[in-house]
Amino acid sequence: MQKNLSIIKKLSYKGQEIQYYLTFKTQKYIRLKVIDKKIIISAPIQAQDWEIEGLIYKNISKIIKIISSQGSLFHISENGFVKIFGKEQHAYFLPTPTVDYPQYTFRVYETEQETIKKMYKKLAIIHQNDFIKVVNRWKEIMNLDFKNLTIKEIKNKWGVCYPDKSKIILNIRLIHYPIQALEYVVVHELSHLVHKNHSKSFWNHVRNYLPNYKNISEILKDSSI
């Protein structure tokens, strides 16, 4: 089986056809995520169909719940919405938006995937200062600093820290959740400037600034199985 080639596959559940995207990689375990209401699976090259589909069936109730939850983050229509820090804001998704429309006006592209991608790019521009304010506040509280901050859509992580490059990337998808979720990710990534891995010392460092970090992190645990 050719690795890193994405395959669209289907299975049946209660009379309904369920589609999933499968990629074979050099890894030990099968991993399942739900992104943009799509089931995304990466599997070892030697994995069999029955193993992969067994994982889907085993977690089907949770998968359906996650897809439903992700559908509530935004709604693409002329009279749609987008959640901003946990609250629904009216949004317009139009084929040809004009400059006199409100800020949450997004262009509709040929595919939903492209529409969502462009939506996140615009949200990153609109809310860049909101992210920067949170980062600057925690930099001061934790007495830590770094040079480069990037805010963009990331598929598999809420944030990334590169201590050697003095760089942190934050996922614009955090815009959908209560601001406490953004604060948790910021504290998490800033802590990596001190502790590069997820050691006991790292988590103690996070806990020192956010004693309830476990409760906050649960908000974001809605896209992986």
**SS3 letters for the chain?**
CCCCCEEEEEEEECCEEEEEEEEEECCCCCEEEEECCEEEEEEECCCCHHHHHHHHHHCHHHHHHHHHHHHCCEECCCCEEEEECCEEEEEEEECCCCCCCCCCEEECCCCHHHHHHHHHHHHHHHCHHHHHHHHHHHHHHHCCCCCEEEEECCCCCCEEEEHHHCEEEEEHHHHHCCHHHHHHHHHHHHHCCCCCCCCHHHHHHHHHHCCCHHHHHHHHCCCEC
- For residue 158, being part of any structural domain is answered with yes
Instruction: Identify the pLDDT of residue 59.
Output: 92
Structurally, the chain folds into a number of domains equal to 3
Give the pLDDT score at 65: 82
20 and 65 together in one domain: yes
Residue 225 domain-assigned?
Answer: no
pLDDT of residue 99: 72
Please check whether residue 154 lies inside any domain of the structure. Answer: yes
Residues 39 and 115 reside in one and the same domain: no
150 and 172 in one domain? yes
Same domain assignment for residues 143 and 91: no
Residue at 10 is within a domain? yes
Strand order in the sheet with 16-25: 6-13, 16-25, 38-44, 31-35
Range of the domain at 199: 128-220
Q: Is residue 1 part of a domain?
A: no
Instruction: Among 61, 92, 124, identify where a domain stops.
Output: 124
- Among 46, 70, 94, where does a domain finish? 70
Residue at 133 is within a domain? yes
Same domain, 118 and 45: no
Q: Are residues 66 and 77 in the same domain?
A: no
Domain boundary among 82, 105, 124: 124
Burial code (b: 16+ CB inside 10 Å, e: under 16) for 52-62 equals: bbebbeebeee
Verify that 133 and 165 share a domain, yes or no: yes
Would you write out the chain's pLDDT as a tens digit for each of its 225 residues?
A: 555 667 899 999 988 889 999 999 888 999 998 877 789 999 999 999 999 999 999 999 888 888 877 668 898 999 999 999 999 999 999 998 777 778 899 999 988 889 999 999 999 999 999 999 999 999 999 999 999 999 999 877 899 999 999 999 999 999 999 999 999 999 999 999 999 999 999 999 999 999 999 999 988 875 555
Q: Any idea what the CATH number is for the domain that residue 204 is in? A: 3.30.2010.10
Hey, which residues does 84 pair with through a beta bridge?
Answer: 87
Between CA 46 and CA 54 the distance in angstroms is: 15
Please state the pTM of the whole predicted model. 0.76
pLDDT score of 112: 85
Same-domain pairing of 145 and 212: yes
